[in-house]
Amino acid sequence: MSKLFTPYEIKGLKLKNRIMMSPMCMYSAGDDGQANDWHFVHYGTRAIGGVGLIMQEATAVERRGRITANDLGLWDDSQIGPLKKIVDFVHSTGCKMGVQLAHAGRKCEVKYERIVAPSSMKWSDEYPVPSELTKDEIKDIIKAFGMAAARAVKVGYDTVEVHAAHGYLIHEFLSPLSNTRSDEYGGSRENRVRFLREVLIEVKKNIPDNMPIFMRVSATDFVDGGIDINETVEIVKLVKDLVDIVDCSSGGLLSPRIDLYPGYQITYAEAVKRETGIPSVAVGLISSPDMAEEIIGNQRADMVALGRVLLRQPYWPVYAAHELKDGDIIAGQYYRGRYR
């Protein structure tokens, strides 16, 4: 058996392989934040395609926490039913599913919402200046993460991922480039991590003890004075008692030029795993079966998260199993289309 297709268990979550569908916003919900037929087909197709874990796109814990007016949400009980229909189907294929809980912070594009952030610093000239969060508002958002996690349990998700990356609210607290607060939520590393830590504590309180918590981070801001991989390692160490696996992405806080190439973020996952002892997920233009196999085989990360390649090839795992000579994993209904 190839390394990529070995089962993986983390806490109470048992996965049939090491392939995760990376959370990718579809911007296809209505203003009510509810899932619809698009989401059912989108996620159901990748489940049939053979991934071990689907991590649902950034799902807002507050209305003002959306990136756009077409984001999925878990801020209201009415959003549970449509999502449960998707999760139940995904489970019927032997795939597991999680949800990425998120708050956009100053990167919210919804015109009629009051935009908030750790500090009154706009993301770009096209965005409004956000209101600096009061301590009471911070507590309310922490509670919103917890309530969304409780709804996620009712939906039937197998895990939750706390979105602390890509320039959204938690990342805004973490980076000194976007957090200039002088209270206990700003300044020192420990203070900048405080919001993340309190969110994780609240999420953990609202999920079963055997449900793992993923955390997505931006391992570097690609800007002098911002977060780099060394800072990320120290951040992870401060919350490692609350996190089971770290999903290592990068960027998003500002808009620097980034050199993109296959596997450009793998070293971040490798460093987090090596320096903290926490399992990690590698992501970033991983598209070939051999590359994915090398990452897992050489223990550079514990899972690989695939994004754009799964948009092009929703049955990529079927192809990868064939290329890695790992047998035939195609759904029985499609058996006539198997690789020969």
CA distances from 266 to 163, 190, 319 (A): 19, 26, 22
Give tens-digit pLDDT for 218-261.
999 999 999 999 999 999 999 999 999 999 999 999 888 788 88
Q: Quick one: pLDDT at residue 315?
A: 97
Q: Where are the domains of the chain?
A: 8-329
Nearest C-alpha neighbor of 271 from the set 340, 314, 217, 190: 217
CA distances from 112 to 26, 134, 307 (A): 21, 20, 31
**Full-model pTM:** 0.96
The mean of the pLDDT values for the chain is 96
Share of the chain above pLDDT 90, in %: 93
The CB density around residue 20, as the number of other CB atoms within 10 Å, is 28
Give the H or E element holding residue 54: strand 53-60
Topology of domain 8-329, CATH:
TIM Barrel (3.20.20)
Q: Quick one: pLDDT at residue 295?
A: 97
Q: Quick one: pLDDT at residue 259?
A: 83
Q: Would you say residue 133 has pLDDT above 90?
A: yes
Higher pLDDT, 326 or 101: 101
Task: Please tell me the distance from the alpha carbon of residue 145 to that of residue 142, in angstroms, as a whole number.
Answer: 5
